Amino acid sequence: MENQSSQMEQNPQTDNTSTSNTKAILKGLTLDELKNYFSKTGEQRFRGEQVFNWMYNHLVTDFFDMANVPKVLRTKLKDTCEIMTLEFVDSQISPLNGTKKYIFETSDKYKIETVLIPEEDRTTLCVSTQVGCPLDCKFCATGLMGYKKNLTAGEIFDQYVLVAKDFGKDNITNIVFMGMGEPLLNYNNSVKALEIFAQELTTGISKKKITVSTAGIAPKIRELADKNLNVKLAFSLHSCFDDIRSGIMPINDKYPLKQNIEAVKYYARKTRTRITFEYIMLDGINDRDEDVEALTKLCKEFPCKVNVIPFNSLQHMDPTGVSAELKSTPHERINEFVQQLRENNITVMIRNTQGEDIAAACGQLAIKYND
C-alpha cells in the first residue's frame, strides 16, 4: 500500500490536454487553459471563454450547438477537438430517502459512481475522483476493490454535467468530493475540476458549498490551501489516537495525526474556513469516553465541527481481517457520544446514512459493476 500510494503521488496525473485519436479533449480544461488553447491554435482567446460557457454552464456536448461561435470555427472544432462525455450505465433511487445513485462509464470502460443526496435544505452531489482507491481504509468499500486509475478533470466534472441534465442544474446546491477515491492523491485533476466548479460562470454554486474530503495527505492539504481556491475541507479523522487510526487507515503511518492536524489548521487559517472532521462511529474502537475527551480537546484548538457518521456495514462484501471485525456503534451510544460532545460546546452533526438500502456508501455499487 505504502509503495503504491507514494508512486501515485509522484505520478498521479492524466493529462487532460492530451489527445484521443489525435483530437484535443476540451472537457476538463480550465478557463485559462481553454483561452491558451484557442490562442495556440490561431483563434481569438475569448473563444475559449465562449466554449467554456457552453460546455460547463449550458452543458452542451456538440460544437454545433455553440450558437455564438462562427460556423467555420465550429467545423474546425468538430474536426480537431472532442468534448469528452461519460456514458450513462444505470441509476437507482432509494425509496427510503430519495438518494439517487448513478453508474457512469469512462471511455476506457471503467465504471464510476456518483451519488445525489436530496435533503430538506439542500441537494448534494457526491463525485468520485478515482476508480477504486489505493488507501485501503478498513471501513471503506472502495478500499476493498483496490486502485484502478485516476479520473481526469473532465471525468470528474462530467459527473456533474450528467446529473445536472437529469435532475436540473438549479436543483444541485452542494458538491462534495467524497465519492470513490482520494482527491488529494489525484491532486492536479481534482484541483482543475475544482477550478471549473468554483467558477461562478459554470455551476453557480458558491465555494462555500464545495467540499473536498481527504483521508489526510498532509503536504497536499497545505498545497490546496495555498491555491486560494477557498473551498471547504473535510478531514476523515475517525480517531484522535495514532495507533487506532493506523489500524483502520494505513495512510496514517505515512502522515500521522500531528502532521495532518497542523496541515488542516493551516488550511483553516489560510482559507478562513471551518474544517469538518468526519467521524464514523465504530463500536469499541473510537466511541469511548476517552475519544470524547480527545475529540473535545482537538476541536477547542481551532474553528471546526464534527460530522458523526453511522458506519455502513460491509458484511455483504464478505470482508476479511480488520474489516470483518468492524461494527457500528449502537444508536444509543451514538446519541450519548454526540450529547457529551455538545455539552463540551463542540458543534456536532449526525449524518444520516444515506442510501444504505441501495448500497450508497462509498463505492459499493460501482464495485458490483467493475466486477
Nearer to ligand SAH, 155 or 182 (CB): 182
Q: Does 147 bind ligand SAH (CB under 6 A)?
A: no
* Contact residue for ligand SAH among 194, 233, 268, 362 (CB under 6 A): 362
Examine the residue annotation and report whether 113 is marked as an active-site residue of this protein: yes
Q: State the minimum distance, in angstroms, from the CB of residue 181 to ligand SAH.
A: 6
∠ Cα 262 142 186 (to 5°): 50
- Any idea what DSSP says for residue 185? G
> Number of residues in contact with ligand SAH, rule: CB under 6 A?
16
The stretch among 107-115, 187-195, 282-290, 311-319 that binds ligand SAH (CB under 6 A) is: 311-319
Nearer to ligand SAH, 99 or 213 (CB): 213
What are the Cα distances from residue 156, in Å, to 107, 108, 147, 178, 203?
Answer: 13, 14, 16, 12, 14
Q: State the minimum distance, in angstroms, from the CB of residue 165 to ligand SAH.
A: 25
* Contact residue for ligand SAH among 56, 139, 197, 277 (CB under 6 A): 139
With H, G, I as helix, E, B as strand and everything else as coil, classify residue 172: coil
Please give the full DSSP string across 342-360, using - where no structure is assigned. HHTT--EEEPP-TTGGGT-
H-helix segments, 81-152: 141-145
Nearer to ligand SAH, 36 or 369 (CB): 369
User: Which one of the listed residues 33, 82, 113, 182 is annotated catalytic?
Assistant: 113
The answer to whether residues 122 and 131 touch, using CB atoms and an 8 Å cutoff, is: no
∠ Cα 321 145 194 (to 5°): 125
The CA distance from 212 to 116, in Å, is: 16
User: Contacts with ligand SAH in 164-183 (CB under 6 A)?
Assistant: 178, 182
∠ Cα 54 57 59 (to 5°): 65
* Binding flags for ligand SAH, 205-224, as an x/- string (CB under 6 A): --------xxx---------
Q: Does 312 bind ligand SAH (CB under 6 A)?
A: yes
Nearer to ligand SAH, 109 or 316 (CB): 316
Examine the residue annotation and report whether 362 is marked as an active-site residue of this protein: yes
Phi then psi for 76, rounded to 5 degrees? -60, -45
End-to-end CA distance of the chain: 21
Nearer to ligand SAH, 16 or 364 (CB): 364
Q: What angle, 0 to 180 degrees and rounded to 10, lies between the N-to-C axes of helices 257-271 and 218-226?
A: 10
User: Which one of the listed residues 81, 126, 140, 362 is annotated catalytic?
Assistant: 362
The CA distance from 78 to 218, in Å, is: 42
Nearer to ligand SAH, 128 or 202 (CB): 128
Question: Grid coordinates in use for 120?
Answer: 430538506
* Binding flags for ligand SAH, 265-284, as an x/- string (CB under 6 A): -------------x-x----
What residues make contact with ligand SAH under the rule CB under 6 A?
139-140, 178, 182, 213-215, 236, 278, 280, 309, 311-312, 314, 361-362
Q: Which residues are catalytic?
A: 113, 362
